């Protein structure tokens, strides 16, 4: 195991895209692509551990993905349950805390229950964090934060003049998690698809044509190596 690099990234966020195309290329049903994609999550977790990356956020299901055919949605929810059950031991062995962001109440009860169970059983870990974005939308998250802020103002608990960036950030789904430094999207698509709109404001982006089920440790290591060659200015000169 290599030691954590002082220069990060501390937090990597991934849009795991291309499962359907991976399956189609092989003449397989789309769900087989999603199953193969679940294997890539283990590879990403191993790479994060070896590269000293403490936070990994994965876009697993968007708030827009509910429009997909019923059978695909049901298959994905069943896969989520199987994934959680199969990986729980690995999360414990790697002292990784599981978190979730999104409109989690939208999830079917069995998936929601399994998620809560594994989040609870890993809640004491602080070394590493795996964050699953489920029924997640960046605009939905900001709208939900705005609603919570409005409620606090209405209750007299918050002065409208005190609503600043920190107040918005404090009302997002996981306010204690630092913003991602690096965002990776697989499958050649070059768009955000409503992912972490607030948190990615100063992230570095890495787009790769590799389909998610083919993504392995070396791919993550290459993205991180490229990240480390970049010069982040945050508006300053130099």
Number of residues that bind ligand IPE (CB under 6 A): 17
CA angle, corner 92, sides to 173 and 72, nearest 5?
60
Contacts of 38 (CB under 8 A, 6+ apart): 79, 82, 83
CA angle, corner 174, sides to 43 and 138, nearest 5?
85
**Would you say 18 or 180 has its CB closer to ligand IPE?**
18
In whole angstroms, the minimum distance from the beta carbon of 17 to Mg ion comes to 4
Are the C-beta atoms of 118 and 91 separated by less than 8 Å? yes
Dihedral angle computed from the Cα positions of residues 89, 90, 92 and 97, in that order, rounded to the nearest 10 degrees: -120
**Would you say 59 or 227 has its CB closer to ligand IPE?**
59
In whole angstroms, the minimum distance from the beta carbon of 75 to ligand IPE comes to 10
In whole angstroms, the minimum distance from the beta carbon of 133 to ligand IPE comes to 7
Q: Which residue is nearest to ligand IPE (CB)?
A: 20
Q: Which single residue is written with the structure tokens 């919570």?
A: 148
**Terminal-to-terminal C-alpha distance of the chain:** 34
- Which of ligand IPE, Mg ion, none sits in contact with 102, Cβ below 5 to 8 A by type? none
User: Per rule CB under 6 A, is residue 215 in the interface with ligand IPE?
Assistant: no
User: Per rule CB under 6 A, is residue 19 in the interface with ligand IPE?
Assistant: yes
- Which of Mg ion, ligand IPE, none sits in contact with 21, Cβ below 5 to 8 A by type? ligand IPE
**Would you say 22 or 55 has its CB closer to ligand IPE?**
22
Helix axes 30-51, 217-229, angle to 10 degrees: 50
User: Per rule CB under 6 A, is residue 193 in the interface with ligand IPE?
Assistant: yes
- Which of Mg ion, ligand IPE, none sits in contact with 122, Cβ below 5 to 8 A by type? none
Sign of CA dihedral 24, 29, 30, 34: negative
Binding-residue pattern over the window 147 to 186 for ligand IPE, x denoting contact by CB under 6 A = ----------------------------------------
Question: Residue 66 and residue 101: Cα distance in Å, rounded?
Answer: 16
Active site residue 19: no
Are the C-beta atoms of 84 and 116 separated by less than 8 Å? no
User: Per rule CB under 6 A, is residue 196 in the interface with ligand IPE?
Assistant: no
Active site residue 159: no
Question: Residue 195 and residue 189: Cα distance in Å, rounded?
Answer: 13
Give me the residues that bind ligand IPE (CB under 6 A), please. Answer: 15-21, 59-62, 65, 76, 187, 189, 191, 193
* Catalytic machinery residues: 17, 65
């Amino acid at each position: 195991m290599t030691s954590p690099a002082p220069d990060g990234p501390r937090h990597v966020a991934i849009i795991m895209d291309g499962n359907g195309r991976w399956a189609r290329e092989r003449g397989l049903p789309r769900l087989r692509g999603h199953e193969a994609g679940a294997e890539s999550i283990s590879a990403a977790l191993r790479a994060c551990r070896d590269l000293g990356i403490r936070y990994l956020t994965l876009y697993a299901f968007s708030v827009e993905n509910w429009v997909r055919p019923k059978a695909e949605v049901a298959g994905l929810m069943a896969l989520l349950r199987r994934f959680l059950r199969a990986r729980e031991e690995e999360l414990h062995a790697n002292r990784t805390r599981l978190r979730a962001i999104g409109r989690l109440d939208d999830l079917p009860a069995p998936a929601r229950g399994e998620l809560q169970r594994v989040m609870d059983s890993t809640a004491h870990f602080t070394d590493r964090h795996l964050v699953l974005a489920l029924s997640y939308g960046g605009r939905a998250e900001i709208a939900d934060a705005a609603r919570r802020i409005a409620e606090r103002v209405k209750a007299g608990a918050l002065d409208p003049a005190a609503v600043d960036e920190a107040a918005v950030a404090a009302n997002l789904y996981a306010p204690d998690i630092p913003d991602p430094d690096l965002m990776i999207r697989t499958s050649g698509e070059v768009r955000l698809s409503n992912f972490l709109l607030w948190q990615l404001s100063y992230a570095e982006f890495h787009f790769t044509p590799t389909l998610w089920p083919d993504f392995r440790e070396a791919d993550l290591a290459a993205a991180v190596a490229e990240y480390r060659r970049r010069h982040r200015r945050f508006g300053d000169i130099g």
